[in-house]
Amino acid sequence: MPDSPFVTTTTIPGGFRRQWSSSPTRVPQGRDTSFIRELLAPGGERLQRAACVFGRLEHLLALCEAGWLGSPRASVRSSLAQARERLCSLGAQFKQVAALHETHPGDIVVAAGTVQPTITTQPTQAIVWQWQERTETAYDFLLTENEASVLVRVHEAHLVAAPSLQGGDRITIVGFFDQEADASGQRSSPRGVPMRPVLRSTSSLPLLVLGTRP
């Protein structure tokens, strides 16, 4: 999602800082649920299963607003048809963190797990995403499940339905799978470069961190 003209984004080590000149813009911005309700109205197993993956109306609003359910079409009917198909497709992409090694770079991933800060010297409950008046600060973190983990890059990402994010929080990620060279990663062959899995945004769609309100 493109930045508002009233926000300045600064890259900081391992994350970003957004500074607004007025009230911060959060995703989703709108609260009109009529489109989402029409989207879910037909029911059916595929649509219900996909909706259950995301669980909250606010999460579905964010998917729609951020472009994950497609751009508006010439008619409401065609927009709804496109959004239903994309929602069902997203729901089918849900994977366990341990299964991400079967994923290819560029693939869409929906995965749930627990937040773990990447800086090992920080306490477990360290804040990795927070808002302070007009300033939003976020740091890369690990999404973990049992003993498996994947690095989440927060550049261009958005936190949804949570005022902050800290170690131990349960979340769902919607983003793109990628790999980065890293000495701590795994090799695909004895002579291969060690790689670690990451989840990130792309130039066309932002990674969404779907949290919950207290």
pLDDT, tens digit, 9 for 90 and up, residues 47-82: 999 989 997 999 999 999 999 999 888 898 999 999
Question: CA 81 to CA 79: how far, in whole Å?
Answer: 5
Both 189 and 121 in a single domain?
Answer: yes
Count how many domains the chain has: 2
Does residue 2 carry a pLDDT above 70? Answer: no
Position 94 scores a pLDDT of 94
How is residue 111 written in tokens? 């995965």
Asked whether 125 and 167 are in contact (CB, 8 A), the reply is yes
Does residue 4 carry a pLDDT above 60? Answer: no
Residues 27-56: pLDDT tens digits?
A: 888 778 899 999 999 888 999 999 899 979
Residues 81-119: pLDDT tens digits?
A: 999 999 999 999 999 999 998 899 999 999 999 999 986
Position 193 scores a pLDDT of 73
Other C-beta atoms lying within 10 Å of the C-beta of residue 143? 25
Both 146 and 57 in a single domain?
Answer: no
Domain boundary among 77, 92, 107: 92
Both 82 and 171 in a single domain?
Answer: no
Both 85 and 100 in a single domain?
Answer: no
How is residue 173 written in tokens? 């990620």
Averaged pLDDT for residues 130-149: 92
Both 124 and 153 in a single domain?
Answer: yes
